[in-house]
Amino acid sequence: QLKTRLAQLRSHVDNLRASVVNVGTIRDEVYDLARKLMHERTKVKALESELGKPLNVHRWRKLEGADPSAYEMVHKIQSLQRRLITKTEEVVEKDMLAQEKDKLYAELKAI
């Protein structure tokens, strides 16, 4: 009976030693997570203060006056995107028309 009790205590000691090894890694992980949490809280405070009193409310208006070339580039990009969309639609329509013509040609050839 003493041998079984001794074996139980040894296994319990081994389990405790294994958990002690894990405590170091867990402690490091807790420290890292606490540091990340503090960093995120600092970010939140900065964003809240900026939200409370914004420093630059109309950023896009300053862009127009400060750098006209960038403003013109934005407009050019938008116009090119519109042209791309219309050309894509035209290509799709022409492709559908060509498919219809091929189908008609195949039907007439079969006759």
- pTM exceeds cut of 0.75: no
CA–CA separation, 77 and 74 (whole Å):
5
DSSP state of 58: T
| Cβ(56)–Cβ(62) below 8 Å | yes
CA atoms within 13 A on the CB side of 98: 6
Digit-coded pLDDT (tens) for 40-92: 999 888 888 777 776 665 555 555 555 667 778 888 899 999 999 999 999 99
